[in-house]
Amino acid sequence: MNLRWLPSLLLPVAALAAGGASAQQAPQRQPDAAQAVAAPAATLPGNAAFTLLKDIEALKAEVSRLRGQNEMLEHKFESLSKRQSDLYLDLDKRIEDLRRQAKEMTPAQPAAADTLAESRAYEEALDQFKAGNYDKAIAGFDAFIKTYPDSGLAANAQYWSGYASYAKKDYKRAIEQQTKLLSAYPQSPKVPDALLNIASSQMELKDTPAAKKNFQEIVAKYPGTNAAAIAAKRLELLK
């Protein structure tokens, strides 16, 4: 609604409201052209003037109410904008904290986590072997060797992969796997046991000369070991 004409009305209306009946009793004089233009409501009857003033006050109250609502909405918008900004700042801070923690993590901490996973993988394969699940044990040990070729348990995994084949009576594969151990881990404490498993597999395959030769090598090179004691007993059987 266009209210630019209100100031021209307020003055004569207010005068009418203030003067009341006395304004009606005052001698009337012909208004000039300027007054007629500036105060078009001056000729309104008293009741109409009061009604107009009441309407004007109601409009002013409505404008004031709308201004209040507008200010309230602006405040809510500012609050939401600030909250959104705070959330973004908090998210950025958390991301930065995670990056800093990753940078500050010592090499020992990743190594410890990797060692735990390594140990768990080995134990899971060994548990399959103990349970007599030789195919799963072989798969577990072979995966371990592929994943952790430099592990201190790699030679052991290689040995048990071969021995699981021996337990399945797959003697050729047992010989292949134990031969890999001798080649890849010649300094491993498992070497005498690998040789014993090779010789035992050769016995099962009726390759007596090769078995006898390996039993003799175990007794000569690794005296005092459990493998040497078993090899000596099996040599007696081959006489």
* Most confident region among 32-46, 113-127, 198-212 by mean pLDDT: 198-212
pLDDT at residue 24, rounded to an integer: 44
Structure confidence at residue 86 (pLDDT): 67
Percent of the chain whose predicted confidence (pLDDT) is above 70: 65
Cα–Cα distance measured from residue 50 to residue 14, given in angstroms and rounded to the nearest whole number: 9
Do 159 and 62 belong to one domain? no
Domain limits at 200? 113-238
Q: Is residue 82 part of a domain?
A: no
Q: Is residue 192, in this structure, part of any structural domain at all?
A: yes
> What is the reported pLDDT for 25?
47
Mean pLDDT along residues 133-154: 96
Chain mean position to CA 216: 59
pLDDT band at 69 (very low <50, low <70, confident <90, very high): confident
Rounded to the nearest 10 degrees, the angle between the axes of helix 191-204 and helix 226-238 is: 20
pLDDT of 80: 64
Q: Are residues 120 and 54 part of one domain?
A: no
Q: Tell me, yes or no, whether 59 lies in a domain.
A: yes
Please tell me whether residue 132 adopts helix, strand or coil conformation: coil
Whether the Cβ atoms of residue 42 and residue 12 lie closer than 8 Å to each other: yes
153-159 mean pLDDT: 96
Look at residue 2 and tell me whether its pLDDT is greater than 60. no
Give 111 or 24, the one with higher predicted confidence: 111
> Looking at the 3D structure of the chain, how many domains does it have?
2
Tokens of 154: 């790699």
The first and second tokens of residue 136, run together, are 């799963």
Same domain, 231 and 124: yes
The answer on 61 and 150 residing in a single domain is no
Q: Are residues 133 and 211 in the same domain?
A: yes
On whether both 60 and 151 belong to a single domain, the answer is no
pTM: 0.56
Q: How many angstroms separate the CA atoms of 78 and 70, rounded?
A: 12
Both 204 and 129 in one domain: the answer is yes
Query: 136 in a domain, yes or no?
Result: yes
Residues 45 and 128 in one domain: no
Q: Are residues 132 and 225 in the same domain?
A: yes
Within a domain: 124: yes
What CATH number did the domain enclosing 167 receive? 1.25.40.10
